[in-house]
Amino acid sequence: QQPVQSPQAVILREGEDAVINCSSSKALYSVHWYRQKHGEAPVFLMILLKGGEQKGHEKISASFNEKKQQSSLYLTASQLSYSGTYFCGTENGGAQKLVFGQGTRLTINP
Amino acid sequence: EPEVTQTPSHQVTQMGQEVILRCVPISNHLYFYWYRQILGQKVEFLVSFYNNEISEKSEIFDDQFSVERPDGSNFTLKIRSTKLEDSAMYFCASSESGYSNQPQHFGDGTRLSIL
């Protein structure tokens, strides 16, 4: 069953913050976050493992709430380069199959 | 930085024809994957491959599809008799291992257009 991402789309001004959520009805082992720009391949951002770990990558960080089976991606002081579609991929053990959400389209305007 | 490479970047094929999509995974990676993305939609898992065997496959990966590692570097996806609905972007990915903490790195994809 695919994870559900919210919101489906976000429009921000440069410098604003955003939160993208990824929820699953199944128990998760890990959540993988990717960003995809139009016409390009998904680019790996980070992995969250079960245990509520929070990770960061420049001004992008994420958390994993095991009780809620939810991961959140935080984009702080957004830059124009952050524009794209963000996908979470969930994995239920084995890392052999990522099930992706429907994506969140993020648009950053100057 | 090592990367996954895919060829061709765009393939146009007549319906009913066979097509082979090629991938060169990152050299020290042991797990290989194929995903597809229909235009404007999410990325969908097709198959994972380890130690010259399919590890897992999705419902999409029916008898029309096959994967092979013909030599030490290439990983291929074959679609035997293409249908219009096979038109999509096909991504190859690879990871060092099958553990949950290992990222999958994606190639730039092959756009398959079925006429």
Q: What percent of chain A has pLDDT over 70?
A: 92
Is the CB of B51 inside 8 Å of chain A's CB atoms? no
Q: Choose among A95, A94, A101, A98: nearest CA to A73.
A: A101
Give the separation between CA A94 and CA B82, rounded to whole angstroms: 31
Best mutation site among A71, A96, A99, A100 for testing chain B: the one with the most B CBs within 10 Å?
A: A96
CA A13 from chain centre, in angstroms, equals: 19
Q: For A17-29, how does the pLDDT look when each residue is reduced to its tens digit (9 = 90+)? A: 999 999 998 888 8
B97 to A95: CB separation less than 8 angstroms, yes or no? yes
Burial class (CB in 10 A: 0-12, 13-18, 19+), A50: middle
Residues shown for chain B: 115
pLDDT at A67: 85
Query: What average pLDDT does the structure give for chain A?
Result: 89
d(Cα B12, Cα A71) in Å, to the nearest integer?
39
pLDDT in tens, B67-108: 999 887 899 999 999 999 999 999 999 999 887 778 999 999
Residue of A nearest to B39 (CA): A39
B106/A41 touch (CB, cutoff 8 Å), yes or no: yes
- Tell me the pLDDT band of A80, cut-offs 50, 70 and 90: very high
Residue A51 above 80 pLDDT? no
CA angle A42, B3, A61 (to 5 degrees): 45
Structure confidence at residue B31 (pLDDT):
94
